[in-house]
Chains A and B, each alone.
Chain A
Amino acid sequence: MTDTTSTSATPQLTPAELRTPMQRMLREALSRTSFKVGFGMFLALLFGALIYPEISSIDPTKMAVRSRHIPPLFLGEKWVWAHPLGTDHLGRDLLLRCLVGLRYSVMIGICTVILMFVVGCALGLISGFKGKLTDTIIMRITDAQLSIPMIILAITILGISRPTAPAIILVLGLAGWPLYARVARSAALAEKRKEYIKGQRVLGASDWRIITLFVAPAVLPPIAFVAVLDVAAIMIFESILGFIGLGIQPPTPTFGNIIADGRKYLINSWWIATMPGVFLLFTLTSLNLMGSAMENARNNVLKGAA
C-alpha cells in the first residue's frame, strides 16, 4: 500500500545538521570525557618527551657507576631529586630513558600506521570498487598475509636484517596493511552500491572520477578516524620487539630494551623494569581512551546517518 501522504515541509536547519559527518564525528568525540582525559594525558606525555630530554643536562646513555640502582622518588632510602624515576644498573636516568623511548615509540607508531593506512586503503579501495579478478587476487594475498601472525613475520625479517627505525616501520607497516585493506574494501563495496554512485554513472562519470571524488572521501575519513587505536597497538609491538632484542638496538633506549634489561634486576631494583612499563601503560591508555572515544563517536554518527 503506498503511503504517499508523508509530511515534507522544509525542515528547520539546525547548525548541527549543516555539518559534514567528519565535523560531527570530531565534535562528538571532543565532547566525551574519556577523549578529553586521554588527549590531556597524551599531550602532557608528548610534551615531556619533546622538551625534557632537550633541557635536561643528563645524557640518557651516559653511565654513572656511582649512582647505580637509585630508587624512584620517596621510595627506599637513597632517592634523589635528580632522578625522579630512579636509575638503572648502569646509573642511567630512567625518566630520561623512558621519555626518549617514548619519542621513538610514538614516531614508529605513527609512521607505521600511516604506511599501513596508505597501502591498505589504496589496495582495499581498488579491490572493492573494481571487483572481479582484481578483487580476488588482492583478497587472496590479504588472506594469506592475515593467516601468518604479524609477529612471526616481523621477527623473522628483523631477526635476519638489521633492526633500524625505518626497517621496523617498513616491516610492521607491511605486516599490518591487510586489516586496513579489508575494512576499506568492505566500505568501498557498501559505498559502491549507494544510489548516488549509480547517479554519477548515469551522468557518465568514469571509475577513476568516482573513486577519487566520491568513494575515497566518503570511505577514508571514518577509517582514519580510529587509526589512533592502531598507533597504540603498534607501540606495543615495537616494545615487544625491543624486549626480544629485535627493536632499535642499544644503547638507544626503547621501552622494550629497558624492560628487558631491568628484568635481570627485578628482585633488588624492581623499578627498572616496572617504571617504563607504567610509563608505556599511561601512554597507551591515553591513546586508547582517545581512540575508543573517537570510535564510539564515529559509530554514533554513522548510525545516525544511515
Chain B
Amino acid sequence: MADNNSILSVRNLSVGLEKDPDARIIDDISFDLGGGKVLGLIGEAGSGKTVLARALINGIGSPLIYRGGDVHYQDKNILTIPINELTKIRGNSIGYIGSNPAGALDPTVPIGGQIVEKLRSVNPSMSRKQATDRALEVLTAVRIPSPEVRFHEYPFQFSGGMMQRVMIVDALVTNPSVLIADNITQALDVTVAAQIIRLIQDLRDQFSTAILFISSSLPVVETIADEVMVLQQGKIVEQATPKALITKPKHEYTKSLLSRLPRIWGKDIKGPDAVETPNLMSVEDVHRTYYVRKKGTFRDMNAVQAVRGVSLDIREGENIGVVGESGCGKSTLTRLLAWLEEPQTGTIKFNGQDLSALDQKELTKLRQQFQLLLQDPYSSLPSRMSVGRIIAEPLLIHGIAEGTKLKERVRAAMTEVGLDPSLENQLTVGLSAGQRQRINIARALVLEPKLMILDETLSSLDQVEQSKLFELFDKLQKTHGFTYIFISHDMALVRKVCHRVAVMYLGRIVELAENNTLFENPAHPYSRALLSAVPTLDVHPFKSDEYLLEGEPPSPVHIPPGCSYRTRCPLALEICNRIDPKATMLAGGGQVSCHLVDQDQQAQSEQAATVT
C-alpha cells in the first residue's frame, strides 16, 4: 500500500459488461482514501460514477461484472470475502448514501424503524432500545427538527432535503470509518443542497469519517474535498488538490470541464440590460388556490395557496426570468400564463385583452399568439406521430393551412429551427433531446406567436446544446420579435439571458429587478439567500455562511401570517410578524416586498398601529 494512512485502497479496479468482454465501465482505477480525509470525485453523467461507488462495496450485479482489481478495507479484500464478513463491513464500517433519497427507504415503514432495523442487522448484539436511542441521537445531530416525532413518520412525509438527512443518519448511525456519498445533492434544490453540503462539513469533524464525495458539480466538490479526482469514461484522468485543479488543470478534459462551467459573477460578466417597450402581457394580482381533500377526511379541504397575488408586466421583446425553489408556485404560474388554468381572482391581459372575457372561439384564436414550450423534450411530444405531422398539427387545429401549403410551412419551420427536413416522415423515437426541443419550438413557431413561455425548457439539455438553442432563440427574437418568459431554477441560465428577473417565494414575487441589479445588488433577503446557494467557482459575492438559510419553506397550506418569509429570514423585524409587506417600487424599475427596504410603509403601519 502506497499510503500507510490509507483506510480504503483501490487497486486496478475494472468493471465491465457480462455480455461484452471488452467493454469497460470502470477502467483500471486505483486510489487511496486516507483516514478522516475527504476525497472528491467529479464526473459527468454517464462517466461511471455510480457504478464505481457501488463497485467499491461489492454492490454490483448483472449486467455488470468485475473485470479485475481489488478493494481493500483495512486488511480485507471486500470483493472476495464471504458474505458474512461483508455484512460486517458494508453498511457498518463503510456507509453509503445515494443520489435518490426519496426512493432509498421502504415507503411503507417509518424511517426510525428502518434505521433501527439496519443497525441491528449489522450489529445483532444491540438491543432495540439501544438502537432507538442511537438513531435518535444521530437524528438530532443532523438537525432534523423534533426527531422523536419524525422517528415514527414515513418516508413520504419528508421533503427531499430532510430525507437526505435521514439517509445521512442511516449511514452514520454505525459510526463508519468510511462514507461513500454518491451525488447526494443531485436531486435537491440549490438552497437545500447547500445546507446538506454544510451539514456534511460539520459532521465530518464530529464523526471523523473518511468521505469519498462523488458529484457531477465541480463547485460543490471544490468546497468540501481535500483532494479531487476527475473521472472520464471510467478512467481517472487527473487527481489534484481542488485549488491546483482549478488554477492549473493538466488534462484536456479537466480544462474543457472548467471552460464549460457557467459564469455568474466577475468583472467581465454582465447580464443583458432591460428594454423599455410597451407591455405585451400584464398579470394583475392573480391568485390560484387548490383545494385538496385532507387525508382521511370526508370533506375537509386543505387550501394549497400555490399562487397568491402575483403581478407582473411582460414587455414586448424582452426576456424575463422567473426563478425560485421547488414549490414556490412557478409551475402554477406557468399554467396560468399559458391559460391552461384560470386564476381565481386577478386578470391576465394579453395585448390589452382580458383573457377571462373571451369566449371559447376567440380564446382558441388568441392562443396562437402565446405558446408554451414544455420542460421535458421526451414526454412532451406524441410518440405515434411523425415529426412533420406534429409540426403540422397546430396548423390543422386552427385550420390555417392545408395541402401543399401546409407542407411548405412545415418545411419552412423545420429549416428555421435547424431541423433536417428529411426527418419529416420519421417518428420521434431516437431523436436527441436537442432535436426534440427544436420540434417543440417549430410547432409553436408555425403559429407565429408573439410570446413564448419556456418552462424549464433548457434544463434537460447539456451545455453545448443549450448554447445552440440560445442562439436559435436569439435569432428568432431578432427575426420575429419574440418575447420570452424563462421559468427556471437555473440561476446561471437566467443570468446569461434574461433582461429582468422575478424571484418567487411561496406563491409571491418577492423581488423583481433588472438582471444586473438582482445579481449584484439584490434588495430582498431571500434573493441573497438564493444567490448564496448557487454553486460556482466565481468569487462569490454572497458567502453561504453569511446568507444561507436554515430549514425549508413552509408548506403552502399553512402560510405564516405577516411576511411569509419571516420564518426563515435572519433579519426579520417585529413588524414582519404582523404586516404583510406590499411591493415597493425601487429606483430603476425594480420592485421588492420587504419591510427592510420600505421604510415608509413600515413607518405608516407603525403609525396606524399606534392610532388604533
Contact = CB atoms under 8 A, between A and B. Distances in A.
A touches B (Cβ under 8 A)? yes
A20 B427 contact: yes
A3 B260 CA distance: 13
A149 interface: no
A134 interface: no
A7 B340 contact: no
Interface stretch (B75-83, B433-441, B602-610): B433-441
Contacts of B376: 195
Interface in A88-110: none
Contacts of B431: 10
Contacts of B444: 203
A305 B371 CA distance: 28
Nearest to A221: B384
A5 B44 contact: yes
Nearest to B376: A195
Interface stretch (A11-19, A70-78, A150-158, A239-247): A11-19
B338 interface: yes
A203 B394 contact: yes
Given A21-B383, A202-B367, A7 B44 contact: yes
Interface in A1-37: 1-11, 13, 17-18, 20-21
Nearest to B440: A199
Nearest to A12: B430
B440 A5 contact: no
A202 B463 contact: no
A214 interface: yes
Contacts of A3: 45, 186, 216-217
A4 B374 contact: no
Contacts of B368: 204
B459 interface: yes
B429 A17 contact: yes
Nearest to B426: A18
Interface string B408-445: 00000000000000000011011111110000100110
A194 interface: yes
Contacts of A47: none
A120 to B, nearest CB: 22
Contacts of A17: 429-430
A24 to B, nearest CB: 10
Interface residues of A, number: 33
A52 interface: no
B430 A13 contact: yes
- A4, A5, A204 interface centre (most CB from chain B within 10 Å): A4
Interface in B186-239: 186, 188, 190, 193, 215-217, 220
B398 interface: yes
B46 A1 contact: no
A218 B397 contact: no
Interface residues of B, number: 59
B447 A203 contact: yes
Contact of A201 (B44, B340, B375, B535): B340
B384 A204 contact: no
Nearest to B464: A8
A306 to B, nearest CB: 10
Given A1-B217, A3-B186, A9-B432, A202 B340 contact: yes
A206 to B, nearest CB: 8
A195 B397 contact: no
B217 A8 contact: no
Interface in B369-384: 371-372, 374-376, 379-384
A194 B383 CA distance: 12
Interface string B471-496: 00000000000000000011010000
B456 to A, nearest CB: 10
B435 A10 contact: yes
B197 to A, nearest CB: 9
B489 A204 contact: no
B430 A18 contact: yes
A4 B466 contact: yes
Interface string B333-352: 00000101000000000000
Contact of A1 (B220, B427, B462): B220
A133 to B, nearest CB: 17
Contact of A6 (B46, B394, B430): B46
A7 B462 contact: yes
Contact of B374 (A18, A199, A217): A199
B146 to A, nearest CB: 27
B375 A205 contact: no
Nearest to B461: A8
Contact of A196 (B46, B262, B380, B433): B380
A298 B374 CA distance: 28
B465 interface: yes
B459 A2 contact: yes
Contact of B384 (A4, A5, A9, A217): A217
A18 B434 CA distance: 18
A200 interface: yes
Given A2-B459, A3-B186, A11-B432, A202 B372 contact: yes
B462 A203 contact: no
A6 B465 CA distance: 10
B185 interface: yes
Contacts of B433: 8
Contact of A203 (B393, B430, B465): B393
Given A8-B433, A8-B434, A17-B430, A202 B46 contact: no
Contact of A214 (B257, B382, B459, B490): B382
Contacts of A199: 372, 374, 380-381, 440
A209 B398 CA distance: 12
A16 to B, nearest CB: 10
- A3, A7, A194, A217 interface centre (most CB from chain B within 10 Å): A3
Contacts of A62: none
A170 B190 CA distance: 61
A202 B217 contact: no
A205 B443 CA distance: 13
B427 A18 contact: yes
A194 B490 contact: no
Given A3-B186, A201-B340, A204-B394, A195 B375 contact: yes
A264 interface: no
A162 interface: no
Given A195-B380, A196-B382, A205 B45 contact: no
A205 B397 contact: yes
Contacts of A218: 382-384
A8 B466 CA distance: 11
Contacts of B45: 3, 5-7
B397 A209 contact: yes
A20 to B, nearest CB: 6
Contacts of B353: none
Contact of B535 (A1, A198, A206): A1
26 contacts: A1-B186, A2-B190, A4-B490, A5-B45, A5-B462, A6-B45, A6-B462, A7-B46, A7-B462, A8-B432, A8-B434, A8-B461, A8-B462, A10-B432, A11-B430, A11-B432, A195-B374, A198-B374, A199-B372, A201-B340, A203-B394, A204-B364, A204-B368, A206-B397, A209-B397, A218-B382
Interface of A: 1-11, 13, 17-18, 20-21, 194-196, 198-206, 209, 214, 217-218, 305
Given A1-B190, A6-B462, A202-B372, 11 more contacts: A1-B535, A2-B492, A9-B432, A10-B432, A11-B430, A195-B380, A202-B371, A203-B443, A203-B444, A204-B398, A218-B382
Shortest 10 CB-CB distances between A and B: which pairs?
Answer: A13-B430, A195-B379, A195-B380, A203-B394, A6-B45, A202-B372, A204-B367, A1-B185, A10-B432, A1-B193
